Amino acid sequence: MTRRTGFLAPALALALIAAPPASGRAAADVVRARYAVSLVGIRIGDAAAVGALGPDKYRIDFTARLTGVAAMVADVKMALSSTGTMQPGVVSPATYATTSANAEETRTVRMAMQGGVVRAVSIVPPWTDLEGRAPVTEAHKRGVLDPTSAFIMPVPPGQPLVGPAACNRRIPVFDGFVRFDLTLSYAGTREAALPGYSGPVSVCAVRYAPIAGHKLQSRSARFMAQNRDIEVWLAPVERAHVVVPVRVALATLAGAAVIEAVEFQIDPGVSAGAR
């Protein structure tokens, strides 16, 4: 399996949404979403997320796969899960696990985290393509979020869920192998209408900055670092006071890609134990 499966992995990383308490029966906002993945206007994949935002805990469960003609070219599947704690304006991951598979192999990455610091990483089988990569130091593993927890986006207390406060932020991400930043900036407000949600969303411009672990001579890393055509729409989750993505559009080396919610539902006040 290659380190990156075309545009799919980084694009899906941008589309992940937030989720359920790791334990207990405290009331939680349960979020369910299904996404369509398209490239140059052709649907090539599906993704689904289910989760809940509790008063102080969260969990993420996410799956994605290529479909149709794309599946005949590359049978790629991904499953991701994260847990952690939440305080007003702060997300603190505890565990992260992802399994990616194609016709050739399956790889699992697991991380244990505490206070934004990566305490342990396990990659099975380990990556062997290490030559020519920007070295990852222990400093790169501090003050970070895992890729799924990165998109539980708390809005500062007292700030509106639609507008600049929803977008303006820098998100430091470490996936167990590569360290990068996502910087979001407010670009406007749109009205969204999709099954399960109708209302305003914040439109954010996104910039990607590779920090460590990437190939120094990588064409894709250079392209993404210079890419000014990345946009995400963020929908509000009122009680948890966070925003989550319902649409991601970006230019890729293979053409224009879009990941868009075809179903988005928020069930407020559901007991975590009832899932």
All residue ranges of the chain with pLDDT < 50 are 1-10, 13-25, 272-275
Q: What is the pLDDT of residue 5?
A: 42
pLDDT in tens, 154-202: 999 999 999 999 999 999 999 999 999 999 999 999 999 988 889 999 9
State how far the Cα of 253 lies from the Cα of 237, in Å rounded to an integer: 33
State how far the Cα of 33 lies from the Cα of 234, in Å rounded to an integer: 13
Q: Residue 249 to residues 84, 116, 191, 222, 260: CA-CA distances in angstroms?
A: 28, 28, 16, 18, 8
CB neighbour list of residue 224: distance below 8 Å, 6 or more residues apart: 10, 208, 210
Q: What is the pLDDT of residue 16?
A: 43
Give the pTM.
0.86
Q: Residue 72 to residues 45, 102, 103: CA-CA distances in angstroms?
A: 12, 11, 10
DSSP helix/strand/coil, 160? coil
